[in-house]
């Protein structure tokens, strides 16, 4: 492929990252290249600059190719600037919504500027970061009788206390049909485990082999397992934060909003499955199409119904409604920190807005929402400028939340 054609491809990729293809189907097609271009913008810019310099030195750079390269470089600079601004966006969201002593552990300036450029050189080798930080992964612990899908991993570190450590439960995404416990949330779990948290990452049963609600049943079973067993790893079973992205964000929100629901706890109805706080990322909150969004209705009818719930909405609307976090909000909802990208082409950001608006109206607990400009789905899968800022923001939020919870539950003399 010649220089001009390469630059035409680069320009198309950058344009799609800045303004993704519209529509439900177009957005799904444009997600993957838009996601990689956005989160790897520094790498793409470096490669583009090197390619252009080499072709200019060889006398093979056409004017059209140079013009396209210049436009792409400007676009990539814009994407990098958006990424570096993520910390400020989240800092503002946290400080605007949490006015009660929100000054724990991580000062606001660290969220804005503390990017580890060394980690960005090869962002796909983040597994080594945990080992360097003294993080140990206790792998493949059975929590449910479903073979590989009933296993979980526990993350601890050299600084994990013998007891009383806060617990994070990380639920992987993958459209309820693919994914594993060791593929998502790794940077966040490594970061928190290195600070003394105990982090738990379970597999769960997937569709189409397993029908809904097996997925959320398994998340509930993992919570029940934590309550019974996490003290053996230094964790405090009284304090569980739950997080996850995409399908994991949906399961995070639904599990947090339905503590002890017997319909989602067959065979362990008496188990306590409550959590103290939920941090869903780019989650699906409207299985039933209750928002009226065309994207939500299309997702319901073309994917959720045939692939996950295995029935049509018109035949069983109550099943879709029971699976929708948007329709399960009560005044007893736990604290929520919801994160979504404005450029998400797989899950319409308006689902998150509707979910947060309803939480704020009904819940008695705190609700924080950070909408990240120019951000695609799955922005936190590997270390990037943006994802590092979000990891620090979640650390700061959960540090504040755990400290607040500890004060509220301190024994009285």
Q: Which residues have a catalytic role annotated?
A: 246, 344, 377
Residues 6 or more apart in contact with residue 159 via CB below 8 angstroms: 134, 194, 195, 196
| Cα separation, 339 vs 253, whole angstroms | 12
In what helix (H) or strand (E) does residue 185 lie, and over which residues does it extend?
none
| Cα separation, 387 vs 84, whole angstroms | 10
Q: Between the CA of residue 46 and those of 43, 51, 121, 180, what are the distances in Å?
A: 5, 9, 11, 32
Count helices and strands in the chain by DSSP H and E runs: 15, 8
Q: Between the CA of residue 313 and those of 95, 295, 301, what are the distances in Å?
A: 40, 15, 7
3-state secondary structure of 166: strand
End-to-end alpha-carbon separation of the chain, Å? 76
3-state secondary structure of 347: coil
Residue 141 main-chain phi, psi, to 5 deg:
-90, 125
């Amino acid at each position: 492929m010649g220089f001009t054609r390469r630059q035409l491809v680069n320009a198309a990729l950058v344009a799609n990252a800045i303004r993704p293809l519209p529509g439900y189907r177009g957005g799904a097609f444009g997600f993957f290249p838009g996601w990689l271009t956005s989160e790897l913008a520094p790498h793409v810019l470096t490669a583009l600059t090197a390619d252009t310099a080499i072709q200019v030195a060889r006398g093979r750079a056409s004017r059209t190719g140079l013009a396209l390269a210049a436009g792409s470089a400007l676009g990539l600079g814009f994407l990098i600037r958006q990424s570096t601004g993520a910390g400020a966006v989240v800092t503002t969201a946290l400080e605007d919504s949490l006015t009660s002593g929100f000054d724990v552990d991580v000062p606001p300036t660290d969220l804005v500027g503390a990017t580890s450029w060394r980690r960005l050189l090869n962002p796909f080798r983040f597994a080594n970061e945990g080992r360097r930080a003294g993080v140990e992964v206790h792998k493949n612990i059975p929590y449910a009788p479903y073979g590989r899908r009933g296993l979980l991993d526990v993350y601890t570190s050299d600084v994990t206390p013998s007891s009383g450590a806060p617990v994070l439960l990380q639920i992987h995404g993958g459209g309820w049909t693919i994914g594993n416990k060791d593929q998502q949330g790794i940077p966040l779990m490594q970061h928190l485990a290195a600070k003394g948290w105990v982090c738990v990452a379970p597999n769960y049963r997937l569709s189409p082999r397993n029908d809904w609600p097996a997925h959320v049943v398994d998340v509930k079973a993992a919570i029940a397992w934590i309550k019974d067993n996490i003290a053996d790893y230094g964790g405090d079973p009284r304090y569980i934060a739950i997080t996850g992205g995409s399908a994991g964000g949906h399961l995070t929100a639904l599990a947090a909003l339905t503590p002890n629901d017997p319909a989602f706890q067959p065979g362990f109805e008496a188990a306590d499955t409550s959590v103290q706080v939920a941090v869903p990322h780019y989650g699906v909150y409207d299985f039933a199409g209750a928002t009226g969004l065309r994207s939500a209705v299309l997702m319901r009818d073309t994917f959720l119904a045939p692939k996950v719930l295995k029935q049509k909405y018109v035949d069983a609307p109550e099943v879709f409604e029971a699976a929708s976090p948007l329709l399960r909000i009560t005044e007893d909802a736990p604290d929520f920190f919801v994160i979504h990208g404005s450029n998400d082409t797989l899950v319409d950001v308006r689902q998150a807005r509707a979910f947060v608006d309803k939480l704020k109206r009904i819940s008695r607990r705190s609700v924080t929402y950070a909408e990240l400009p120019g951000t695609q789905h799955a922005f936190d899968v590997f270390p990037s400028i943006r994802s590092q800022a979000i990891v620090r923001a979640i650390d700061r939020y959960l540090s504040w939340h755990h400290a607040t919870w500890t004060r509220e539950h301190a024994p009285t003399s």
